[in-house]
Structure 1
Amino acid sequence: MLIIGPVLVPFMLFKGLSYSQIMLLQSISAVSVIVFEVPTGAIADKFSRRISLFLSGWFCASGLILYIAFESFYLFAVAEILFGLGLTLMSGADSAIIYETLVKQGRKKDYQRIEGRAQFYIFLGQAFGSVISGFLYKYNPFLPFWISVVNIMVATFLALGFIEVTRERSEHHYWKHIFLSFGVAVKTPRILWAVCCAALMGFVIRVGYWLYQPYFAAVDLDVAWYGVIFFGFNIVAAFSSHTLVARFSNTRPRKILLTLGMLMSMSFLLPILFMAKWAIALIALQQIVRGLYRPVMRFYVNHQVQDSHRATVISTVSLVANLSFAILSPFVGMLLDLQGTTVSYTFVGLVATIGTLLLYLLRKRQKLVAEQV
């Protein structure tokens, strides 16, 4: 569990980075995820999901240590690449283990609920970690980062204890397996819609985190209170993943995902109308999305593909999300440096609004085509 969320942007500013440099680093991280995402998903499919998770922890911890030890933009870029590699080794493998175990037990319908419960405990842990993070940072900026490194390593060794069920494995060679999985994503209309949705949500959800601190600074919120705000954010996300996932488990996933797109739009456009400390509560709408998006999207994708391609297709969806973030995030960083918080929030809010409308129209078109077949 990482507790650096509330103080990561202040820490990077403390290290001498501008907003443009911060977002460029995040773009580098996203590009590294794009490069590694599908190959590491294929490793999980063809070899071992457990080993994939174990290696993930080592790379993530190494990236954090580079941030702690150095003050060079170029070394920070290396850290982001390592962190990106670690995230890709985890992506797809974790949800694939859960889903396949439930299928073997005849409990496939429980996937959303169990994934949501796992998210609930993660958010709850992050909530309590966030409370102390801001105060630890004010005492010593490096403390939250060292604690996070220790937490990662503990989780890394716990991953070795996971048990993988016997499953169908791809009989194709590595690269052929990857291309076949891409074919599944492109030729399956529902997966193609999920890919387009991931392109939108991957950008707006991820960039939302990097826009918290500029808004906090704009309304003159002291850094010590960032952790308290993040506590509230994580409690909302925990409620969303625990209660709302169960509440809407019988609702069509695409309908839920479209609603989440509109919530993201509101979370950017409404706060800039007021620019006040209390309006931070409106940004908390993003936490509802944060809690619901992963279990709903993962269930939606898992339900469409076979075991042999599952982790790779999930990774493909994640790849597209990172591609959109890699392309647009440097532009948001420049907007922050040149135009400020209000313009940046307006831009992201409009992207969320227009993107959600286009997803709705694509959904309608796919339904019409399906009815004509």
Structure 2
Amino acid sequence: MDVPRRVRWQYYVYRVTNSMGFYVPVSVIYLLHRGYGLEYIGLLQAVFSVSLLVAEVPSGYLGDRLGRRRTLAVGSLLRAAGLLGYVVVDFAAGYLLLKICFGVGWAFRSGNRDAWLYDVLDSYGDTACFARVDSRASTALLLASAGGALAGGVLYGLDPALPFLVNGTVALLGLPVLAAMPDGSGDHGDNPVTVRTAVDTLRAQTRRPEVRWVVAYTVVLFLVFDLTRTFEQPALDAIGVSTAGMGVLYAAFKLVSAGAAAAVGQIQETLGTRRSLLLAAPLVGLSYAAIAVVPLAVVPALFLYRSLRVVIRPIRNQYLNDRLADVGRATVLSGVSMVLSLAGAFARVGGGAVANRTGPLLFLAGAGVTLSLSAGLLWIAVSPVRPAAPGDVVASADD
């Protein structure tokens, strides 16, 4: 049975309301212009990661227990509050509180969003199209973010608070869209998800090599992405890119990422899950090594990392979803995000101190090369992508 077009478009529109396009291109520059250094900015990003970490498993549990649509709505409200707070907050502790609010809101969205989509597709017997539908939604999100990035630079020039005000409003628009969406939570009948079930499910999944090692491999790669996102604006500032120029550049980032997202289905069909993930490590290593030799190479490296990120995420989540039961799916996916958040928090705190000494360009070059080599060694040692265990139902065409 085909998934109704109405349901797919509701999901696409909801994803568009998740856009951070107005805010992201100026988020770090905004703080730098107010006298905050890279160490404080690294601390803020670490606080975001820790907040995400603490909220991840509870958010997945609530999604499994109370309904994913309701949990997604809470996430929209919290993200809106974290953005709109920039309009009135202008002190260090206040920004920390906003990051906590934003991090918790992000957690309420992460695992639940993917679990909701997979459950809805499963109800129509079409889970094999998960990566394709998710990547199309990512394309819509990135195109909207490209427009937002262009507008964000202009709005910042008019009033630095405007990008945050507009982006917070966009997040609030997700509420009526969610109200029209199907809930997507499966009926667990006589086996409702409890806290004990959630903990037991996480423990059981981490013992499975086919789950554990693909998570570990992608965590290492996503650390490159997390560190880059934190320090890319200072790096661009170091090569002379203006605030308005960053808006244009971020719009271009989004457009290229949108193209990559639209190609996910074709990439997965052509290369398969194994080769798609394997090629990511050497591509990252080579592009970031070039920054140490030619500082301007940071620009193509930023284009590449964004493209790889939007390709890797749906392929990884398709792989994991195919190996997870409906009961506790959001909990497990939130657990994956929890691991990413924990690793990112440590990396950002340490990264801020190192970047202050080496400069953002040399730091990004060193971090990218080191982490891509680590990912390559992990692949050689444990072969992360493995066939499904007996009893798993795999919809992917190629593992």
Q: TM-score, normalised by structure 2?
A: 0.87
Deviation at residue 166 of structure 1 after TM alignment: 6.1
Partner of 1:134 in structure 2? 153
Do the aligned partners of residues 259 and 242 (structure 1) sit closer, same or farther apart at CA in structure 2, a change above 3 Å counting? same
Partner of 1:64 in structure 2? 83
Question: Is 1:47 matched up with 2:90?
Answer: no
Deviation at residue 262 of structure 1 after TM alignment: 2.7
Q: For residues 219-245 of structure 1, give each alpha carbon's deviation from its aligned partner in whole angstroms, at most 9, with x where no partner exists.
A: 111111101111111111101110243
Provide the C-alpha distance between the structure 2 equivalents of 1:193 and 1:252, rounded to a whole number of angstroms.
Answer: 17
Q: For residues 272-316 of structure 1, give each alpha carbon's deviation from its aligned partner in whole angstroms, at most 9, with x where no partner exists.
A: 32113x751232111211220221111111011000021111111
**Residue pair 2:221, 2:372 contacting (<8 A) in 1 also:** no
**Amino acid aligned to 1:74:** A
Deviation at residue 322 of structure 1 after TM alignment: 0.7
Question: Is 1:210 matched up with 2:230?
Answer: yes
Deviation at residue 364 of structure 1 after TM alignment: 3.3
Question: Is 1:300 matched up with 2:319?
Answer: yes
Question: Is 1:361 matched up with 2:393?
Answer: no
Partner of 2:4 in structure 1? none
**Amino acid aligned to 1:47:** L
Residue 183 of structure 2 aligns to a residue in which SS?
coil
Which one is further off, 44-53 or 350-359? 350-359
Provide the C-alpha distance between the structure 2 equivalents of 1:41 and 1:330, rounded to a whole number of angstroms.
Answer: 26
Deviation at residue 250 of structure 1 after TM alignment: 5.4
Residue 211 of structure 1 aligns to a residue in which SS?
helix
Partner of 2:221 in structure 1? 201
**Amino acid aligned to 2:328:** H
Alignment partner of 1:224 out of 212, 230, 244: 244
**Residue pair 1:61, 1:149 contacting (<8 A) in 2 also:** yes
Cα RMSD after superposing both structures: 2.1
**Residue pair 2:222, 2:309 contacting (<8 A) in 1 also:** no
Q: For this pair of structures, how many residues does the alignment match? A: 368
Q: Detail structure 1 runs of 4+ shifted over 3 Å in the superposition.
A: 249-252, 362-368
Question: Is 1:270 matched up with 2:299?
Answer: no
Provide the C-alpha distance between the structure 1 equivalents of 2:350 and 2:231, rounded to a whole number of angstroms.
Answer: 13
Do the aligned partners of residues 165 and 336 (structure 1) sit closer, same or farther apart at CA in structure 2, a change above 3 Å counting? closer
**Residue pair 1:202, 1:324 contacting (<8 A) in 2 also:** no
**Amino acid aligned to 1:315:** S
Do the aligned partners of residues 307 and 86 (structure 1) sit closer, same or farther apart at CA in structure 2, a change above 3 Å counting? same
Deviation at residue 173 of structure 1 after TM alignment: 5.8
Provide the C-alpha distance between the structure 2 equivalents of 1:285 and 1:306, rounded to a whole number of angstroms.
Answer: 34
Provide the C-alpha distance between the structure 2 equivalents of 1:117 and 1:311, rounded to a whole number of angstroms.
Answer: 21
Partner of 1:253 in structure 2? 273
**Residue pair 1:28, 1:326 contacting (<8 A) in 2 also:** yes
Q: TM-score, normalised by structure 1?
A: 0.93
Deviation at residue 149 of structure 1 after TM alignment: 0.8
Instruction: Give 5+ residue unaligned stretches, structure 2.
Output: 1-18, 390-399
Do the aligned partners of residues 70 and 254 (structure 1) sit closer, same or farther apart at CA in structure 2, a change above 3 Å counting? same
Map 1:1-373 onto structure 2 (within 5 A).
1-2=19-20, 3-165=22-184, 167-169=186-188, 171=191, 174-249=194-269, 251-276=271-296, 280-364=299-383
Which one is further off, 358-367 or 41-50? 358-367
Do the aligned partners of residues 262 and 88 (structure 1) sit closer, same or farther apart at CA in structure 2, a change above 3 Å counting? same
Residue 36 of structure 2 aligns to a residue in which SS?
coil
Deviation at residue 252 of structure 1 after TM alignment: 3.2
Provide the C-alpha distance between the structure 2 equivalents of 1:173 and 1:223, rounded to a whole number of angstroms.
Answer: 48
Deviation at residue 56 of structure 1 after TM alignment: 0.4
Provide the C-alpha distance between the structure 1 equivalents of 2:35 and 2:363, rounded to a whole number of angstroms.
Answer: 21
Provide the C-alpha distance between the structure 2 equivalents of 1:150 and 1:7, rounded to a whole number of angstroms.
Answer: 17
Provide the C-alpha distance between the structure 2 equivalents of 1:178 and 1:141, rounded to a whole number of angstroms.
Answer: 43
Deviation at residue 146 of structure 1 after TM alignment: 0.6
Q: For residues 311-367 of structure 1, give each alpha carbon's deviation from its aligned partner in whole angstroms, at most 9, with x where no partner exists.
A: 111111111111111111111111222221233113311332222213312443886
**Residue pair 1:271, 1:279 contacting (<8 A) in 2 also:** yes
**Residue pair 2:56, 2:335 contacting (<8 A) in 1 also:** yes
**Residue pair 2:286, 2:369 contacting (<8 A) in 1 also:** no
